[in-house]
Structure 1
Amino acid sequence: MTLATFPWLTAIIFFPIVASAAIPLIPDPDGKGRPIRWYALTIGLINFVMLVYAFYTQYDISSSEMQMVERYDWIPQIGLQWSVGADGLSMSLILLTGFISTLAILASWPVTFKPRLFYFLILAMYGGQIAVFAVQDLLVFFLAWELELLPVYLLLSIWGGYKRQYAATKFILYTAGSSLFILVAALAMAFFGDVVTFDMRSLMAKDYPLTFQLLVYSAFLIAYAVKLPIVPLHTWLPDAHGEATAPVHMLLAGILLKMGGYAMIRMNVEMLPDAHAKFAPALIILGVVNIIYAALTSFAQRNLKRKIAYSSISHMGFVLIGIACFTDLGMSGAVLQMVSHGLIGASLFFLVGATYDRTHTLVLEEMGGVGQQMPKIFAMFTTCSMASLALPGMSGFVAELMVFVGFATSDAYSFSFRLIVVCLAAIGVILTPIYLLSMLREIFYGDENKELTSHEALIDAEPREVFIIACLLIPIIGIGLYPKIMTQVYDAKTSQLIARIRTSVPSIVQAATPTTEQQAVLLSQGVSQAPRL
């Protein structure tokens, strides 16, 4: 076996899972998990190095096809295979998963309660989340989707805050319940027609009638709306974030939410393009609702974790708009927004955890005047907040700008509809700096809490914390200054996706364009001749 034929994706998925099984064998003399955390960090780093090496040596960024494909028969009686592969869409999120998961292990340094179980679950999640982005068999995808829920549930219910049992139960009920829709849709697609298969490429090639597509699309949409999340199926997220520890925050915001966006593009858009053309206006409206509602709710929150959680929900609204705007630029912006928010969300939630470790409170009224005692945390919190509010020069600005311009120049919707959507989405963009800057003022400025600022535990950031934030800020600023660093990974794939679904755009043009004259011009030119962005 050569490096070219080595099963890289399978190894990257199973290495942290198998390695986690050795954690019970590691001696821990003082019971605080020091050897265990070093072991977990080593496994995470090795896996990430393997991932980066495979990306640079085995992956061709100019190709839109599935690469690094590995197929092994599992249950051939029902056509079930272990099938993994990576294209631009999945590879960008696999890289994000490896990066965030490795940093989350380093962020877990203060954990001393049941360290064996904690790091076992973190490593198991590492492999499971990569599997969600890599598997190319729909039934195996469902299994990977389900299996990664258990570690999150345990991490919330054991190491969470005061209401951890409630938050963990709500999380598992929402996500596991919605997953049943994936199973039903997968079985319906697999048994449709003469050939029974769960292979995604084969399922994509089947000729589904529109009514069938609409039903399957609805099932997928419900499942992925919970994970993305989309209002009103979002209420599990603020509770989960409100009780989670810093490393679990990073995994939730940095990776878990992106699974919903990825699956929606992979299945709703790529496999069911005709149904997507019908649902696209609804996705646009849901995206606008997400942006405005979550921004307003975040503005009203007095709990720091819940404020950032609702901010995450608001930013995911741009992903929905980008998915539904039928332009290369918009779709590229949606993927970049997922990557960007993964980095920014992980950094903010890590800093929230670091601040809580020192102040022992999440209530904004009880904070204030800690900026002088913690200048490094103040500087990092401010920089990451600037990234979240889409400051030019950072990744959030580029991603949101691409979505705005991609939608504003889409020929699939009337001018009046585009104008209304852009103006409404801009309200969320305006609200974001208001609630983030006011948050910074209340934490680090405001009326000084004498009892808090005189506390001995109110120390500044340690080198480990500075290193984690620096690792996250480097790609945030790098993408903001030179977006091609990331967009070139998936541009070929997003262009292929748009080319596939453009054949379904006339149905939206007919519904959205107010005059018959405009309809006639667009239809006479042909959608395939519409300008590419």
Structure 2
Amino acid sequence: MFTYDFPYLTAIIALPLIGALAIPLIPDKYGKNTRNYALIIALLNFALIVYGISQTYTMGIGEYQMVESYDWLPQIGLSWSLAVDGISMPLIVLSGLISTLSILASWKVDNKPRLYYFLLLVLYSAQIGVFAAQDLLLFFIMWELELVPVYILISIWGGKKRLYAATKFILYTALASIFILVSGLALAFYGDTFTLNITELGLKDYPLALEVLAYAGFLIAFGVKLPIFPFHTWLPDAHSEASAPVSMVLAGVLLKMGGYGLIRFNMEILPDAHIKFAPILITLGVVNIVYGAFSAFGQTNLKRRLASSSISHMGFVLVGIASFTDLGMNGAMLQMLSHGLIAAALFYLSGVAYERTHTLMMDEMGGMAKLMPKTFALFTAASMASLALPGMSGFVSELSIFLGIAQSDAYSSTFKVVIVFLAGVGLILTPIYLLSMLRVVFYGKKENALQLPSFGVDAKPREVFITVCLILPIIGIGLYPKLITTTYDVDTVEVASRVRASLPVIVENHVTALRVAEADLSAIPQIER
């Protein structure tokens, strides 16, 4: 275990929160001072994330690092316990990048700017807390904390149906998160010692029945956030009504919390139950892939189509997690990081298009390609990444998942062929609905769009900068995957190995039970004919 004198993790969680609390003290009449202040806080925090990790985090260790632990409320066993490993560290960097860019993307917000930037900074803090928390109750508090800002951001700064979308979001996610608390406390109270430490929970020896029940609870909670079919219906509504900066955070970071939770809790703490549920996860993953792809075809709203695409792409994460292979686990982790960058870019560019056309209906946007070549080029680049074009991060992650499930020894050949075939169908459908989206938006009929004064105004330097900051790492990872895989491969291999280690035990138990049954049957006197 590694400890350091300066509490970097506490600092990167506290800085945005303290900065948000100081916003009411800033003299500001038109919102510009608040905007600049929020951006400075976000940039400082992102710089602190990068500096702290570069100074104190060692790649390839396979242990928790930057460990910080303080007794917070010892009466209930709650401690301020933080640490990172190869699974959480890249997601913290991703959160810092996208949260900072989302504040820069909110440059024109003039409706209640103090409250708006306050909520974005609180959300920034909560995201880091979720990925760094090592105490179950602290994890739950941070998980709940990030729900409130998103709800308010959608309900005040959203579209015409914002109240419906925000209410649906909070009902789905808040009710589902109760299962985190219930399942976690069941594990914490089991045995002779009570503990809320996530690492110590993973060291307990649970009966299989308790593991299965706790696994099911965690799966519901994290499945809603991922989202897994059929708990996905809140996502298209939330995206279609949320502003572009909020959609950036929602798609780029919040969905990844579901995948992170599945790895951290379902796999690491409950490996025996994961073996039981793995075929179900793969089936649900394939349903996500195919359903999301077909659903995208039926969406004429640009952001709803992108939301359906996110449902499809997150299905690959489930397949990789349930593959039992190192390559599949690496692919699942890379898919979360890759999709975070790609989805943030696409949803931001959808906001750029909306500002010019004042509509999200694709058939009302057409004719933008010649008048807005920079926007067209950026949108095309992000779409190519989403459809897994070779040379971009999406190709590497999805290929790894395909190879991972194909090489798995945990499933029959017939099952693997069916899974790979159906996932391949989703993969084939993806370029079709994305290229048709580009065709309609940029080459379709112009209709009412030309009458708008802002139509034809190409992407401005700030908008180009935000998009390039997301596309450059997408291309960098696609050309040189080790740029990112070296940060987590030791940890994902360790998680996959731990789950595989439980496979022979389960099989041996089944064989033993079968032999006992055969012995009992042989003891029964044979009935003569």
Please say whether Structure 1 and Structure 2 have the same fold, judged by a TM-score greater than 0.5. Answer: yes
Is the contact between residue 373 and residue 453 of structure 1 (CA under 8 Å) also seen in structure 2? no
Cα deviation, residue 90, structure 1: 0.4
The 5 Å alignment of 1:15-414 reads 15-29=15-29, 31=30, 33-414=31-412
Cα deviation, residue 448, structure 1: 3.1
Query: Could you tell me which amino acid in structure 1 is paired with residue 222 of structure 2?
Result: Y
Q: In structure 2, how many angstroms separate the alpha carbons of the residues matched to 1:510 and 1:284?
A: 24
The superposition leaves residues 232-286 of structure 1 with CA deviations (integer Å, 9 ceiling, x where unpaired) of 0000000000100011010000000000000110000000000000000000000
2:527 maps to what in 1? Answer: none
The superposition leaves residues 367-407 of structure 1 with CA deviations (integer Å, 9 ceiling, x where unpaired) of 21121111111111111000000000000000000000011
Is the contact between residue 372 and residue 459 of structure 2 (CA under 8 Å) also seen in structure 1? yes
2:454 maps to what in 1? Answer: 457
Is the contact between residue 390 and residue 400 of structure 1 (CA under 8 Å) also seen in structure 2? yes
Query: Could you tell me which amino acid in structure 1 is paired with residue 282 of structure 2?
Result: I
Cα deviation, residue 79, structure 1: 2.1
Q: In structure 2, how many angstroms separate the alpha carbons of the residues matched to 1:509 and 1:190?
A: 28
Query: Could you tell me which amino acid in structure 2 is paired with residue 478 of structure 1?
Result: G
Query: Could you tell me which amino acid in structure 1 is paired with residue 453 of structure 2?
Result: E
Q: In structure 1, how many angstroms separate the alpha carbons of the residues matched to 2:508 and 2:220?
A: 26
Q: In structure 1, how many angstroms separate the alpha carbons of the residues matched to 2:47 and 2:446?
A: 45
Q: In structure 1, how many angstroms separate the alpha carbons of the residues matched to 2:482 and 2:437?
A: 32
Q: In structure 2, how many angstroms separate the alpha carbons of the residues matched to 1:457 and 1:77?
A: 59
Is the contact between residue 246 and residue 353 of structure 1 (CA under 8 Å) also seen in structure 2? yes
2:5 maps to what in 1? Answer: 5
1:487 maps to what in 2? Answer: 485
Q: In structure 2, how many angstroms separate the alpha carbons of the residues matched to 1:292 and 1:320?
A: 13
Q: In structure 1, how many angstroms separate the alpha carbons of the residues matched to 2:508 and 2:405?
A: 17
Q: Any stretches of 5+ residues in structure 2 without a counterpart?
A: 515-529
Cα deviation, residue 186, structure 1: 1.2
Query: Could you tell me which amino acid in structure 2 is paired with residue 295 of structure 1?
Result: A
Is the contact between residue 363 and residue 445 of structure 2 (CA under 8 Å) also seen in structure 1? no
Between stretches 494-503 and 171-180, larger displacement belongs to: 494-503
Cα deviation, residue 455, structure 1: 2.8
Between stretches 20-29 and 185-194, larger displacement belongs to: 20-29
TM-score by length of 2: 0.94
- Structure 1 vs Structure 2 CA RMSD: 1.5
Cα deviation, residue 153, structure 1: 0.4
TM-score by length of 1: 0.94
Query: Could you tell me which amino acid in structure 1 is paired with residue 262 of structure 2?
Result: M
Cα deviation, residue 4, structure 1: 4.2
Query: Could you tell me which amino acid in structure 1 is paired with residue 50 of structure 2?
Result: V
Distance 1:144 1:95, change over 3 A: same
Q: In structure 2, how many angstroms separate the alpha carbons of the residues matched to 1:508 and 1:397?
A: 35
Q: In structure 2, how many angstroms separate the alpha carbons of the residues matched to 1:118 and 1:365?
A: 31
Query: Could you tell me which amino acid in structure 2 is paired with residue 448 of structure 1?
Result: K
Cα deviation, residue 507, structure 1: 7.3
Which structure's CA Rg is the greater one? 2
The superposition leaves residues 468-488 of structure 1 with CA deviations (integer Å, 9 ceiling, x where unpaired) of 011001100000000111110
Is the contact between residue 280 and residue 324 of structure 1 (CA under 8 Å) also seen in structure 2? yes
Q: In structure 1, how many angstroms separate the alpha carbons of the residues matched to 2:181 and 2:198?
A: 14
Q: Percent identity?
A: 62
Query: Could you tell me which amino acid in structure 2 is paired with residue 456 of structure 1?
Result: P
Cα deviation, residue 510, structure 1: 9.4
1:523 maps to what in 2? Answer: none
The superposition leaves residues 175-213 of structure 1 with CA deviations (integer Å, 9 ceiling, x where unpaired) of 000011111011101110111110011111111010110
Is the contact between residue 388 and residue 394 of structure 2 (CA under 8 Å) also seen in structure 1? yes
Query: Could you tell me which amino acid in structure 1 is paired with residue 153 of structure 2?
Result: L
Q: In structure 1, how many angstroms separate the alpha carbons of the residues matched to 2:147 and 2:4?
A: 33
Cα deviation, residue 37, structure 1: 0.8
The superposition leaves residues 114-158 of structure 1 with CA deviations (integer Å, 9 ceiling, x where unpaired) of 000000000010011000000000111111101110000000000
Is the contact between residue 252 and residue 339 of structure 2 (CA under 8 Å) also seen in structure 1? yes
Cα deviation, residue 28, structure 1: 1.4
Is the contact between residue 4 and residue 67 of structure 2 (CA under 8 Å) also seen in structure 1? no
1:526 maps to what in 2? Answer: none
Is the contact between residue 363 and residue 444 of structure 2 (CA under 8 Å) also seen in structure 1? no
Q: Any stretches of 5+ residues in structure 1 without a counterpart?
A: 517-533
- Local SS of the residue matching 1:73: strand
Q: In structure 2, how many angstroms separate the alpha carbons of the residues matched to 1:429 and 1:507?
A: 36
Q: In structure 1, how many angstroms separate the alpha carbons of the residues matched to 2:281 and 2:4?
A: 41
- Local SS of the residue matching 1:89: coil
Is the contact between residue 392 and residue 398 of structure 1 (CA under 8 Å) also seen in structure 2? yes
The 5 Å alignment of 1:431-446 reads 431-446=429-444
Q: In structure 1, how many angstroms separate the alpha carbons of the residues matched to 2:200 and 2:114?
A: 42
The 5 Å alignment of 1:500-519 reads 500-506=498-504
Distance 1:507 1:382, change over 3 A: farther
Is the contact between residue 378 and residue 444 of structure 1 (CA under 8 Å) also seen in structure 2? yes
The superposition leaves residues 49-95 of structure 1 with CA deviations (integer Å, 9 ceiling, x where unpaired) of 11001111100111111000000001222322110000000001001
Q: In structure 2, how many angstroms separate the alpha carbons of the residues matched to 1:484 and 1:510?
A: 38
Query: Could you tell me which amino acid in structure 1 is paired with residue 22 of structure 2?
Result: A
2:520 maps to what in 1? Answer: none
1:447 maps to what in 2? Answer: 445
Query: Could you tell me which amino acid in structure 1 is paired with residue 20 of structure 2?
Result: S
Is the contact between residue 278 and residue 507 of structure 1 (CA under 8 Å) also seen in structure 2? no
The superposition leaves residues 1-50 of structure 1 with CA deviations (integer Å, 9 ceiling, x where unpaired) of xx941000011001110011111111113x2x111111111100100011
- Local SS of the residue matching 2:369: coil
Is the contact between residue 70 and residue 79 of structure 2 (CA under 8 Å) also seen in structure 1? yes
Q: In structure 2, how many angstroms separate the alpha carbons of the residues matched to 1:499 and 1:293?
A: 31
Q: In structure 1, how many angstroms separate the alpha carbons of the residues matched to 2:37 and 2:10?
A: 21
The superposition leaves residues 301-336 of structure 1 with CA deviations (integer Å, 9 ceiling, x where unpaired) of 111110000000000000000000011110010000
The superposition leaves residues 481-529 of structure 1 with CA deviations (integer Å, 9 ceiling, x where unpaired) of 0011111010110111112111222478799xxxx9xxxxxxxxxxxxx
Is the contact between residue 292 and residue 309 of structure 2 (CA under 8 Å) also seen in structure 1? yes
Q: In structure 2, how many angstroms separate the alpha carbons of the residues matched to 1:156 and 1:455?
A: 26
Q: In structure 2, how many angstroms separate the alpha carbons of the residues matched to 1:460 and 1:111?
A: 20
Q: In structure 2, how many angstroms separate the alpha carbons of the residues matched to 1:106 and 1:345?
A: 17
Cα deviation, residue 415, structure 1: 1.1
Q: In structure 2, how many angstroms separate the alpha carbons of the residues matched to 1:75 and 1:44?
A: 29
